């Protein structure tokens, strides 16, 4: 999942609309002030005339023009502020109104995409995917512990699947709560159907609602994107998708190990993990693989990066999908 040029242009058109709306609001505010105080309009006109006059003097080599201009403009601006206040308008009433004050509704801060752009891209991609419907039902509010048992015990830790899931749920909530302040990563592993993807979706929904950019890939889809960007350098869409994969606030890699694994895949996983760690970008990975299998398939370097920099959450229990079917039958 990533932005194509057509999607990028769609987002930029929305920023153009935001800027037009901002100008319209500001124009209405000026019209209100001018209608209530013709004197305010005269001050604005005086400032414009003064700026032109001193601009000409500056071009003619008058070195004192700038300082003189600053002094006179300061006096006029002070008069404007006092007049605005006396008319009952807020001090910032004639300031531009931006939906995002950080990038001023341009989508960029310098050459870097603003957080609001990343969030807009994330929402666009989810709108066009089947995950939009999934996140309506798989979120923290719909999460239930009834599928986890006190009787299902992990032989290594001696803890029940219920106790383990309670802790994992708390960790995921804390991950979301401190997302903006702390750089964390989560590695969810365990057998099939114990809730790994569900927890990933809970995190995704919460962070997207908070305005963060979240990109989800099944493992095969991620490596397909990385392969496209590696072997098709002239493909603008592929390169744009690649950059966005590394730049989003949260990357979710679901079902690691379901792809066909080879040396290229192993090296790409390391690059992805390492680059996002260096950029302090959070990642959530889920897999059915054991830790031993992870090290065998993706090299010790990737294994070391994950175990050293990720919160490791092993989930255990019965396959929830099977339990749901059994429960539904009992209710009939």
Task: Tell me the β-bridge partners of 108.
Answer: 113
Consecutive 10-residue averages of pLDDT for the chain (332 residues): 72 93 93 92 86 75 70 85 91 91 94 86 70 84 91 91 96 96 95 93 90 87 84 68 82 91 90 93 94 89 94 92 70 50
Domain map (residue ranges) of the chain: 5-86, 129-331
Please tell me the predicted confidence (pLDDT) of residue 232: 67
Cα–Cα separations (whole angstroms), residue 213 to 32, 116, 175: 38, 8, 15
Q: Tell me the helix, strand and coil percentages in the chain, rounded to 5.
A: 60, 10, 30
- In angstroms, the CA 162 to CA 60 distance is 81
pTM of the model: 0.69
CA atoms of 284 and 292, how far apart (whole Å): 19
d(CA 96, CA 256): 47
At the topology level, CATH places domain 129-331 in Rossmann fold (3.40.50)
DSSP category for residue 40: H
pLDDT, position 140: 94
């Amino acid at each position: 999942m990533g932005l194509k040029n057509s999607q990028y242009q769609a987002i930029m058109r929305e920023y153009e609309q935001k800027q037009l709306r901002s100008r319209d609001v500001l124009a209405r505010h000026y019209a209100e002030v001018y209608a209530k105080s013709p004197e305010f309009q005269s001050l604005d006109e005086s400032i414009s005339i003064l700026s032109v006059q001193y601009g000409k003097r500056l071009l003619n080599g008058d070195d004192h023009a700038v300082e003189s201009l600053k002094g006179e403009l300061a006096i006029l601006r002070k008069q404007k502020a006092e007049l605005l206040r006396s008319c009952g308008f807020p001090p910032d009433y004639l300031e531009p109104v931006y939906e995002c004050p950080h990038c001023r509704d341009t989508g960029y801060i310098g050459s870097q995409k603003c957080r609001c752009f990343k969030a807009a891209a994330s929402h666009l991609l989810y709108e066009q995917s089947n995950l939009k419907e999934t996140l309506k039902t798989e979120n923290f509010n719909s999460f239930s512990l009834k599928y986890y048992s006190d009787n299902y015990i992990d032989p290594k830790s001696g803890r029940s699947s219920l106790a383990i899931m309670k802790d994992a749920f708390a960790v995921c909530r804390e991950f979301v709560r401190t997302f903006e302040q702390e750089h964390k990563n989560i590695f969810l592993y365990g057998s099939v159907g114990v809730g790994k993807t569900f927890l990933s979706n809970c995190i995704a929904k919460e962070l997207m609602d908070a305005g963060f950019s979240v990109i989800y890939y099944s493992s095969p889809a991620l490596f397909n994107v990385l392969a496209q960007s590696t072997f098709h350098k002239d493909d603008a869409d592929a390169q744009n998708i690649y950059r966005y994969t590394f730049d989003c606030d949260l990357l979710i890699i679901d079902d690691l190990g379901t792809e066909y694994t080879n040396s290229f895949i192993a090296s790409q996983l390391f690059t992805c993990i390492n680059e996002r760690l260096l950029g302090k970008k959070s990642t959530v990975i889920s897999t059915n693989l054991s830790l031993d299998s992870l090290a065998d398939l993706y090299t010790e370097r990737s294994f070391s990066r994950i175990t050293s920099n990720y919160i490791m959450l092993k989930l255990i229990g019965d396959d929830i999908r099977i339990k749901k079917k059994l429960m539904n039958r009992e209710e009939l």
